[in-house]
Amino acid sequence: MATLSELVQTILHTLLDQAEQPERERVVRVRLNSRQHPAYFSERDVGPRRDANQQLQQLAAQGLIRLGWRKWEEHNWLETVDLVAEHAADLYILLRRTPRAEQSQALDQLLAAQRPRAAWQLAFLDFTAAQLAGGRSVAPLKLDDEPWNRDLLLAAQALAALTSPTLERTFSVRVFGNSKRFADLEGALVRVLRQHAEAAAGYGEDSAALLRAHLLDRVPEYVPIAGELRLDSAEKTLDLAPFQPSVALSAATLRGATVSACAASRLITVENSTSFSELSLRRPPHTLIVYTGGFASPTVIGLIRQIRQLYPAIRLQHWGDLDAGGLRILAHLRRELGAVEPLAMDVATFECHQAHAQPLTTNDRAALAQLRALPALHDCAALIDHLLQTGLKLEQEAVEITSS
């Protein structure tokens, strides 16, 4: 038989899809319709219908399928195509398709071979195994794509094993020998983290922040800092006080350094670069300012923990957007560091700058409603309610520096 047309392949694959449904007892049948098989019902081109009829009749003559024709339209208009169950194996060979049972067995063996290194990875493996056993979707894994499954599970294993920040392309080369392979898998791995990592919901839709929280960076991280801070590293001392208005240090430098002195009585984390720059130029006395660029990275969290351990009385404050994203970042800082005060993130500040506010989207409203119930933001309830009542949000850059 000549190569099967796309239309015929679609019909046959649908039959096998139905046959593979767990505990199916009904007749395995495809009922042709214009929505799922538009080429068959085309009024402009009868070729696809003619070719499909011819090929399907040949398969029926071999006993692989049974055809149901419209009344008075035999050999012209098909109504149904039924699978002959005892010859299903022949269709698998014809379509070069692996039976679902074999696909399931292969994936089950892959899952069993994994050695989880993190709670989220174990949860992912357990969930997938349960889905597989129940005949349900195993997305983002794919039953019919073993190479994809191997690579995604390998990426998850390697991510769970990271102990220090790593660049994505470096990670990809080390794991796959190909600097671009991880880019294909990134969305699927982010989905795994969102579904199974305990704190993933706190990052909202910020996939870069979620990956960074698991030590995977897209670009090298540099952390701008303004204030009197002294770091010791490899028998050298780095005093930041002379650097005006600020200095950016690599994440590698900060991870390898120990805080030896901090003259500040308060430490302010700042979400956005413009606001950080403006605040650094007018830095209040005895204040250390650290730029987070959104969610604070593990490097920034580690630095602040060091400072707080050395100076337990230091006052921690965060200044960010007056919206769901800014509040999520505040909640994240509190989850990682404990007590952190909101700075210029209140109803009074919003009202002073409301002329620059932007309308809330439907997603904004849903996110704020969720944050309203978050215990970590109980003291921000008045602000959240005000944002919802006014239907507005405010970017940090709109707030005058004197308000901080």
Residue 401, pLDDT score: 78
Q: Report the CATH fold assignment for 222-403.
A: Dna Topoisomerase Vi A Subunit; Chain: A, domain 2 (3.40.1360)
User: Which residues of the chain fall below pLDDT 50?
Assistant: 403-404
Map 28-97 to HEC letters. Answer: CEEECCCCCCCCCCCCCCCHHHHHHHHHHHHHHHCCCEEEEECCCCCCCCEEEEEECHHHHHHHHHHHCC
Cα–Cα distance measured from residue 293 to residue 224, given in angstroms and rounded to the nearest whole number: 9
Q: In Å, how far from its chain's centre is CA 276? A: 28
Helix-, strand-, coil-residue percentages of the chain, each rounded to 5: 50, 15, 35
Peptide bond into 298 cis (omega under 30): no
Query: Residue 333 in contact with residue 326, Cβ under 8 Å?
Result: no
248 pairs with which residues across the strands?
224
Residue 27, pLDDT score: 86
Distances in Å between the alpha carbon of 77 and those of 2, 59, 131, 140, 358? 21, 16, 40, 39, 58
Residue 2, pLDDT score: 67
Per residue in 337-358, pLDDT (tens digit) is 999 999 999 999 999 999 999 9
Residue 185: closest CA among 143, 210, 214, 155 = 155
Residue 388, pLDDT score: 98
Cα–Cα distance measured from residue 242 to residue 129, given in angstroms and rounded to the nearest whole number: 57
Write down the domain spans for the chain.
Answer: 6-95, 100-217, 222-403
Question: Residue 305 corresponds to which tokens in the numbers above?
Answer: 């923990």
**Residue in this structure with the two tokens 């392979």, named with its chain if needed:** 181
Report how far apart the first and last C-alpha atoms of the chain are (Å, whole number). Answer: 77
Residue 1, pLDDT score: 61
Torsion of CA 57, 62, 64, 65, to 10 degrees: 30
Q: In Å, how far from its chain's centre is CA 371? A: 19
DSSP character for 322? B
Query: Residue 230 in contact with residue 237, Cβ under 8 Å?
Result: yes
